[in-house]
Chain A
Amino acid sequence: MSRIQSTFAALAQQKKKALIPYITAGDPHPKHTVNLMHALVDSGANMLELGIPFSDPMADGPVIQRASERALAHHVGLVDVLQMVRTFREKDTMTPVILMGYANPVEAMGIENFADQAKAAGVDGVLTVDYPPEECGEFVALLKSRELDPIFLLSPTTEPSRIDTIVRQASGFVYYVSLKGVTGSQNLDIAQVTERLQGIRSKTSLPIGVGFGVRDAETARQVAEIADAIVVGSRMVQEIENSSEQELLGNLAALTSELRAAIDSN
């Protein structure tokens, strides 16, 4: 059982939902990333989504794009991101880490080399935003043969027949994009998400994470009623952007605790 699967299993037993905060590796400075990861876990995160900086993050909104730009100003590449995970694992062997990024940095490293390095560093799952299942069969096989979970997005416009195709390739969990748009857009429509999640559950027993529109504690609480995991990205990154270096860890921990409390209040 992968670390992601066992985490979901343990949470299900406790009747709790997974909180998955997202930060971009190297934002605001590479020296903070591992400390931030530990702080997020200490204040209630169950898994971490770590963004690989990319010069052209087409599926992200302006907030996460700026995070990429801040990281790239310090020349943070995929090799550095993997090193951060390796350092994180020195103190934390329990919390799953999911890398989220775009295909080009992965291809630049070589997909097989990347799969080896990611496994060795202690990565658990990989979400490659611009690799739809039709284009990444070989990559998925490489991940699975190393017991890394390939995470796939499902969107409000994904046709039912396509959901079948995607969940066959996915493992760990599936990630439902709760709105039409880029990360950090308007607030999600909870009634619509509820309906869509029912459709997805009829096709897979994989846990479902919901993200792209969870902007505050109340939304997180509502999503926690229907999803297995709540992914919070732009809101976390915004907090990083608005914090001084001294406030950084404290502010991110406070926000994570607030989200944790809201999720657990159901």
Chain B
Amino acid sequence: MQVYDMPDERGHFGPYGGVFVAETLIEALEELRVMYERYRHDPEFLAEFAYDLKHFVGRPSPIYYAQRLSEKIGGARIYFKREDLNHTGAHKVNNTVGQALLAKRMGKPRVIAETGAGQHGVATATIAARLGLECVVYMGSEDVKRQAPNVYRMKLLGATVIPVESGSKTLKDALNEAMRDWVTNVADTFYIIGTVAGPHPYPMMVRDFQSVIGIEAKQQMQEMIGRQPDAVIACVGGGSNAMGIFYPYIDEESVKLIGVEAAGYGIETGKHAAPLTANSPVGVLHGNRTYLMQDKNGQIVETHSVSAGLDYPGVGPEHAWLKDIHRAEYVAVTDDEAMNAFHTMCRTEGIIPALESSHAIAYAMKLAATMSPEKVLLVNLSGRGDKDINTVARLSGIEL
């Protein structure tokens, strides 16, 4: 029996979330809200979604016991939910499949997306190709340079990638630009947002599509060890993989939920991407109210993380709410700690994790060391790290 019941009908999670957009977008969001309400419990739609998750994405993703890593640390046992084994290599595709199927039901032949590291762009281009939808991806021109392989992947999949030259030329600017496209082409275009942020219904809808992660994990943990973990740990940028695994656990009060943000060079340096951990002021950006990294004038500040997927000044409004009600705890690990976890994971378990996921692993390693071997940690391994090898090599002083 689900007790937790958020958001309210206008998308509020307590004081967070909502619909903060110009009037020009209101009707498009209303259409989306109505259509999502129609289909979110529709057996035929859900069956279609489940079919693609199984046969196209390769779900369910397994749970894996990291025995060598656990023994090396000598504390709590660490289990991984293997979202890295999904088609396209990350959890992002769960959501793009859901939204693209909805786009099809709504008769929209064109989908657009914003992307930072490129994972959400690739996941969108992938499902667009599968469903025969036109696909346009907005990407900051800085990210286009940093993530050349993903740009080419999207092009191979038939998508048009548009470099965004405005602002800081990164994810938040790509999001601004995608919104502008949507407001101009709303009649035939569906905007596939990649994280649990944006105006209602996006935070709820993306959470729902991603919650397959937690639903599977609950069943798999029961089968594997006969109980649920003591804590579930996931990295948080916008926060979609974390919401996906947290959501089905919210009513399981014995399970701690821990979100790991990017501390970058360190919270105290100001060069990070950890609005929750740093207790940033609450503000309004990209259609929702949430904790937001900003200066005293309310301008959004540039963030820093070694991981492009966590490099975002805001955070999904449901995480802001879970922090305030103390249902989830938010911590941050630095670039260096994440890099260390990345290398340890490669050598100890034979898994190359995404730099985003490496943040969750780093915190799990720290926490496990303080706990006894009877305790169990479940970490969402949200993506694989093949996309990051150039970054890691560069930081190690190696030229590929």
Question: How many angstroms from the CA of A158 to the CA of B186 in the assembled complex?
Answer: 13
List of A residues within 8 angstroms of B300 by Cβ: 55-56, 104
Q: How far is the CA of A30 from the CA of B300 in the complex (A)?
A: 20
Is B139 part of the contact surface with A, judged by Cβ < 8 Å?
no
Known: A55-B300, A109-B298. A104 touches B292 (CB 8 A): yes
Within the complex, which residue of B173, B184, B282, B286 is in contact with A180, where a contact is CB–CB below 8 Å?
B184
Instruction: Say whether A153 contacts B286, CB under 8 Å.
Output: no
Q: In the complex, how many angstroms separate the beta carbon of B23 from the nearest chain A beta carbon?
A: 4
Q: Is the CB of B58 closer than 8 A to any CB of chain A?
A: no
Q: A130-B21, A132-B26, A155-B26 are in contact. Are A108 and B281 (CB under 8 A)?
A: yes
Minimum Cβ distance to chain B for residue A47 (Å)? 20
Taken together as a complex, chains A and B put the C-alpha atoms of A211 and B184 apart, in Å, by 15
Hey, which chain A residues are within 8 Å of B18, CB to CB? 135
Answer whether A132 and B19 are a contact pair too, CB < 8 Å, given A104-B283, A180-B184.
Answer: yes
- The reply to whether B23 and A154 form a contact with Cβ atoms under 8 Å apart is yes
Q: How far is the CB of A215 from chain B (nearest CB, A)?
A: 16
Q: Does chain B have a CB within 8 A of A152?
A: yes
Which DSSP category, helix, strand, loop or mixed, fits chain B's interface?
Answer: mixed
* Among A53, A103, A159, contact of B284 (Cβ-Cβ < 8 Å): A103
Q: Is B24 an interface residue (CB 8 A)?
A: yes
Interface size (A, Cβ < 8 Å)? 45
B344 to chain A, nearest CB (A): 37
- B263 sits at the interface (CB 8 A): no
A104-B298 in contact (CB<8A):
yes
Q: Shortest beta-carbon distance, B144 to chain A, in Å?
A: 18
Does A257 sit within 8 A of B, measured CB to CB?
A: no
Residue in B19, B282, B285, B294 whose Cβ sees the most chain A Cβ within 10 Å: B285
B296 contact from A57, A65, A108, A129, Cβ within 8 A: A108
A155 lies within 8 A of B23 (CB): yes
Question: Which positions 1-43 of chain B face chain A at CB distance < 8 Å?
Answer: 10, 18-24, 26-28, 30
Give the complex CA separation of A134 and B9 in angstroms: 12
Point out the residue from A134, A157, A185 that lies within 8 Å of B27, measured CB to CB. Answer: A157
Please tell me if the beta carbons of B296 and A77 are within 8 angstroms of each other in the complex. Answer: yes
A78 at the interface (CB under 8 A from B): yes
Check if B88 is an interface residue, CB within 8 A of chain A.
no
Q: With both chains docked as a complex, state the minimum distance between the C-beta of B342 and any C-beta of chain A, in angstroms.
A: 31
Given contacts A56-B172, A58-B180, A157-B186, contact A130 B24 (CB under 8 A): no
**A127–B272 Cα gap in the complex (Å)?**
33
CB pair A106 B298 closer than 8 Å: yes
Q: Distance in Å from the Cβ of A54 to the closest Cβ of chain B?
A: 7
Closest approach, in angstroms, between the C-beta of A37 and any C-beta of chain B? 21
Binding site for A on B (CB under 8 A): 10, 18-24, 26-28, 30, 166-167, 172-173, 176, 179-180, 183-184, 186, 281-287, 292, 294, 296-300
The list of the 6 closest CB pairs from A to B, nearest first, reads A108-B298, A77-B297, A105-B298, A157-B27, A59-B22, A181-B184
